[in-house]
A = this chain, B = another copy of it.
Amino acid sequence: VSSANNTYIRVSLPAVCFVWQIAMVILFGVFIRYDEESDEKGWHEFKRSHNITSNIENDFYFRYPSFQDVHVMIFVGFGFLMTFLKRYSFGGVGFNFLIAAFGLQWALLMQGWFHSLDPVTGKITIGIESLINADFCCAGSLIAYGALLGKVSPVQLMIVTLFGVTLFAVEEYIILDLLHCRDAGGSMVIHTFGGYYGLAISWVLYRPNLNLSKRLNGSVYHSDLFAMIGALFLWMFWPSFNSAITNHGAGQHRTVINTYLSLAACVLTTFAISSMGQKKGKLDMVHIQNASLAAGVAMGTSAEFMITPYGSIIVGFCCGIISTFGYLYVTPFLEKRLKLQDTCGIHNLHAVPGMLGGFVGAIVAAAATEEVYGKEGLVETFGLSGKFENRSMSTQGAYQAAGTCVAIAFGLVGGVCVGFILRFPLWGDPADDFCFDDEAYWELPEDEETIPPVLEYNNHMINKHQDT
């Protein structure tokens, strides 16, 4: 089989895009409606029934700024973080764009069916919080893309996302609703799940001869700067990510503070270990771009809790160390020993910090007391009302830990299954010597090398003009 033919997607990609987008039209037509705060008639009735006099009490105004930050993280953050490869930047940011745009539509449906299906009307109503959750749900699949970067076709990525979003909605339902865990920033449901999902897929898709593409599996000077744009937008907006759907008031406020502090501490230990890890003490851009974000991942569950400012810093401190060590030693080990090729190192940025975040959350939850939170604060923060009214904090901690395990299990099992689906030889993935190469799926512009002669030619023409 020729490697060039392999990547022919002129039929499959449009087919998948059209079929799935038409399905979205139909399903949205059947199921999706505006919620009471975005429906024109509904909002007027809502205001009347809730004695609200002013339009500015619409929850839109208290979620939208966070939503936009999350939106930037999904499209520019994840997208540009994946532009670091020297010749796969189009694929990095472009396919990220494609699958997020599909994933968020599918997520609105899947999460709607599980969380906000009205049993009477059979409709799902959506508002700004649904959009945030849809973006979150995509993040799981985008994380998985990180492990697969450069080795799969866009058609395969659409499948990864279809199943990724589906699995996400199920595990989220189990973890948040059945186990009643708290996980506002998604250490468990987003990062742990997404990380192990991607790793499992990558493990099934192991390519023994990937070193044929080794020359392209690295960065150049400018591609590292593009990746730094993504990294910084992720880093800066992570406080918004973790706080976007927390309880309003002190909870949201505190989540921002905790995430902000943890991320700052993480940067220092990342720089320290990165320098220690190289013979001459030189820093590695891969660590700076990635490991400095690990604290945001690890605070996803506990940032909402009263983890204290110094507790947040300690978490960040440890994450920078663990994640950078991961990039230095664990990723190479996984590739050699476990036959696990993880292009972006999501093991170190999502899987492990997410899992740690889940367990940190369990510990902090178990340690929560009425003395610190106040009685109503404890109830509000952990949602201990209704049938969970009598749950003790140590029980809550145990459920949080169980939730982390559920996320790992869903990621691993789901990933293996999806990996096998992706091995059917009809999805247009590149041959081993054609990975990490935009040439496979993109019309590339001519090389930069050809400009200077043009300029010379122009100057020549100008001089000629001036002479006459």
Contacts and interface: CB of A to CB of B under 8 A. Distances in A.
A232 interface: yes
A133 to B, nearest CB: 13
A462 B310 contact: no
A93 interface: yes
A57 B253 CA distance: 12
Nearest to A279: B10
Nearest to A263: B101
Given A40-B372, A105-B265, A252-B60, A272 B18 contact: yes
Interface in A64-104: 64-66, 68-69, 71-72, 75-76, 79-80, 83, 86-87, 89-90, 93-94, 97-98, 101-102, 104
Given A254-B34, A256-B131, A465-B4, A232 B75 contact: yes
Interface residues of A, number: 161
Contacts of A285: 90, 94, 442-443, 445
A216 interface: yes
Contact of A264 (B60, B101, B126, B269): B101
Given A9-B281, A86-B451, A446-B220, A28 B249 contact: no
Contact of A309 (B34, B218, B317, B434): B34
Contacts of A47: 249
B14 A44 contact: no
A309 B28 contact: yes
B76 A281 contact: no
A309 B458 CA distance: 46
B126 A236 contact: no
A37 interface: yes
A57 B53 CA distance: 13
A34 B372 CA distance: 11
A451 B288 CA distance: 24
Contact of A58 (B80, B248, B280): B248
B254 A221 contact: no
Given A68-B237, A236-B72, A251 B40 contact: yes
A215 B13 CA distance: 32
How many copies of this chain? 3
A446 B37 contact: no
A169 B87 CA distance: 46
B281 A11 contact: yes
Nearest to A10: B281
B446 A292 contact: no
Contact of A443 (B282, B317, B381, B442): B282
Interface string A1-45: 011110011110110011011101100110011100111111111
A61 interface: yes
Interface in A251-268: 251-254, 256-257, 260-261, 263-265, 267-268
B441 A101 contact: no
Nearest to A101: B267
Interface string A271-285: 111011011111111
Given A56-B57, A271-B98, A254 B68 contact: no
Contacts of A367: none
B220 A13 contact: no
Contacts of A308: 29, 33-34
B62 A56 contact: yes
A389 interface: no
A348 interface: no
Contacts of A41: 372-374, 377
A406 interface: no
Contacts of A17: 268-269, 271-272
A128 interface: yes
Contacts of A172: none
A66 B69 CA distance: 12
A458 B443 contact: no
A6 B41 CA distance: 61
B39 A250 contact: yes
20 contacts: A3-B462, A4-B462, A9-B275, A14-B275, A25-B313, A25-B314, A28-B310, A37-B253, A40-B254, A41-B372, A60-B253, A68-B237, A90-B225, A94-B283, A101-B265, A131-B256, A218-B446, A222-B448, A229-B229, A437-B458
Given A21-B268, A40-B378, A278-B443, 9 more contacts: A3-B461, A14-B276, A28-B261, A60-B253, A75-B236, A76-B233, A86-B451, A98-B271, A223-B445
